[in-house]
Chains A and B, each alone.
Chain A
Amino acid sequence: NAGVMQNPRHLVRRRGQEARLRCSPVKGHSHVYWYRQLPEEGLKFMVYLQKENIIDESGMPKERFSAEFPKEGPSILRIQQVVRGDSAAYFCASSTGSYQETQYFGPGTRLLVL
Chain B
Amino acid sequence: KNEVEQSPQNLTAQEGEFITINCSYSVGISALHWLQQHPGGGIVSLFMLSSGKKKHGRLIATINIQEKHSSLHITASHPRDSAVYICAVLFNNDMRFGAGTRLTVKP
**Residues of A near any B CB (own CB < 8 A):** 33, 35, 42-45, 48, 55-56, 58-59, 89, 91, 93, 98-105, 107-108, 110
Contacts and interface: CB of A to CB of B under 8 A. Distances in A.
B43 A91 contact: yes
Q: Main secondary structure on chain B at its contact with chain A?
A: strand
Nearest to A110: B41
Nearest to A59: B94
Given A43-B88, A101-B48, A107 B95 contact: no
A100 B50 contact: yes
Given A42-B86, A93-B43, A105-B44, 5 more contacts: A45-B94, A45-B97, A99-B30, A100-B90, A110-B41
Nearest to B95: A45
B31 interface: yes
8 contacts: A42-B86, A42-B99, A42-B100, A99-B30, A99-B31, A100-B90, A104-B45, A105-B44
